[in-house]
């Protein structure tokens, strides 16, 4: 294998592929990055066996300044390799595989010789044997990921809850995640070809995969293609394939958790409420009970927090409108902050049922398509 390429372009693909590579893998060759050169271009592959990312750098795209002198393949230690490429002195770089998988990396006067591994020993990527493809707008899909992954569980005691449940049905994509204390749900319309219109898909994608996927998604592209098989999902953009395994099992029925009626409804600006919660939680983080209390009455809407050692805080909240019964309840401010951040600058409606039942946050203009749910903390 021998090729030369513009270093900055090579680095971009390298950075994408490297997201899949973990230093804690139990399969030694997966700490490496696979480089494959063919007449058409270079293919870089990284994998931690849960996630695999493949990036393609085509010869025909002139900005890559890519010349393939000899086809072939090699696996190089990812950590060193990308450090080396970053620090090379020239705009161009060359890579050549010598005898015994020794690989020569050169740029201007600098030359590195590193020990490579036989690419034939690199695991094969999953085979995606389906023609059924969904097209998703990238900016909307990144939004959905950001809005739901906050609620995935970080504990392995119920592995299924470490994923996001995605259900495709009736021209809609529903994404939901819950760690059993809180829940995030977002629904978007989906353009589905008539051949797939009657199909239902119900999959659970590991939250970690979605977070990494979101980081690689370049908003310069408009759409991403999604292909689903029994235990894998593949996301395709122009020059990148992102594979993730799916979680096996049945996701709990979350629809019944969402209360349908409300005793108290109050409308806030999300970012102004976030500021107040951040202040109210400053001291509570210190104590054993990380809770903030909200009191809503026709006269006063107030939050308060306290730590016996440090002191207490209270703040009268500015709200847009309030309706219904007076209510006092306590909640984990970290859940509230995570939820509020997913709404950005918009106005939100919070609907309370009782001090011990979950309450929900929705955009003030839309009750249906985006819901954050939080279970209160009982303090009595």
Which residues sit at the interface with its own copies, rule CB under 8 A? Answer: 77, 80, 83-84, 87-89, 102-103, 109-115, 275-276, 278-279, 282-283, 286, 309-318
Question: Which C-beta is closer to its own copies: that of 309 or that of 365?
Answer: 309
Q: Write the CA distances from 163 to 28, 211, 261, 325, 346, integer angstroms.
A: 26, 11, 28, 37, 27
Task: For residue 339, give both structure tokens.
Answer: 């939820």
Minimal distance, residue 277 CB to its own copies, in Å = 10
- CB-based contacts of 133, cutoff 8 Å, min separation 6: 225, 226, 227
Question: Which C-beta is closer to its own copies: that of 117 or that of 183?
Answer: 117
Minimal distance, residue 363 CB to its own copies, in Å = 24
Minimal distance, residue 199 CB to its own copies, in Å = 50
- The C-alpha angle 159, 145, 226, rounded to 5 degrees, equals 90
Minimal distance, residue 249 CB to its own copies, in Å = 41
Minimal distance, residue 334 CB to its own copies, in Å = 15
- Give strand ranges (E) for 229-377: 232-237, 240-245, 264-269, 292-296, 301-307, 311-316, 321-324, 327-331, 347-352, 359-363, 370-374
Question: Which C-beta is closer to its own copies: that of 31 or that of 209?
Answer: 31
Residue with tokens 């909640």: 331
Cβ distance 147 to 186 under 8 Å?
yes
Question: Which C-beta is closer to its own copies: that of 105 or that of 161?
Answer: 105
User: Which residue from 28, 9, 50 is spatially nearest to 209, judged by alpha carbons?
Assistant: 50
Minimal distance, residue 356 CB to its own copies, in Å = 28
Question: Which C-beta is closer to its own copies: that of 113 or that of 367?
Answer: 113
Helix or strand holding residue 77 (H, E): strand 72-77
């Amino acid at each position: 294998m021998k090729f030369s390429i513009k270093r900055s372009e090579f680095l971009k693909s390298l950075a994408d592929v490297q997201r899949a590579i973990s230093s804690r893998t139990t399969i030694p060759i997966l700490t490496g990055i696979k480089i494959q050169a063919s007449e058409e271009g270079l293919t870089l592959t990284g994998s931690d066996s849960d996630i695999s990312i493949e990036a393609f750098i085509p010869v025909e795209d002139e900005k890559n300044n890519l010349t393939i002198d000899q086809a072939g393949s090699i696996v190089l230690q990812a950590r060193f390799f990308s450090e080396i490429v970053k620090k090379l002195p020239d705009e161009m770089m060359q890579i050549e595989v010598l005898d015994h998988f020794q690989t020569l990396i050169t740029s201007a006067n600098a030359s590195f010789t590193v020990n490579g591994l036989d690419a034939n020993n690199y695991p094969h990527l999953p085979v995606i044997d389906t023609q059924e493809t969904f097209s998703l707008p990238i900016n909307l899909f990144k939004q959905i990921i950001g809005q739901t992954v906050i609620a995935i569980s970080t504990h392995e005691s119920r592995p299924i809850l470490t994923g996001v449940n995605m259900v495709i049905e009736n021209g809609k994509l529903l994404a939901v995640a819950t760690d059993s204390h809180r829940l995030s749900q977002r629904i978007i319309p989906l353009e589905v070809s008539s051949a797939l219109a009657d199909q239902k898909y119900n999959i659970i994608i590991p939250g970690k995969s979605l977070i990494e996927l979101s980081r690689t998604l370049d908003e310069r592209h408009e759409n991403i293609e999604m292909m689903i098989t029994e235990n894998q999902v593949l996301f395709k953009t122009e020059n990148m394939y992102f594979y993730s395994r799916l979680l096996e099992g049945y996701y709990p029925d979350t629809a019944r958790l969402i209360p349908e009626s409300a005793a108290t409804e109050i409308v806030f600006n999300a970012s102004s409420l976030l500021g107040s919660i951040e202040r109210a939680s400053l001291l509570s983080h210190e104590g054993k009970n990380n809770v903030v209390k909200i009191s809503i009455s026709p006269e006063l809407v107030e939050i308060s927090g306290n730590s016996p050692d440090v002191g207490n805080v209270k703040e009268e909240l500015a709200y847009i409108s309030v309706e219904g019964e007076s209510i006092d309840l306590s909640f984990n401010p970290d859940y509230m902050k995570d939820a509020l951040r997913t709404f950005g600058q918009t106005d939100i409606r919070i609907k309370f049922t009782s001090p011990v039942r979950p309450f929900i946050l929705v955009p003030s203009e839309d009750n249906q398509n985006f819901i954050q749910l939080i279970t209160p903390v009982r303090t009595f």
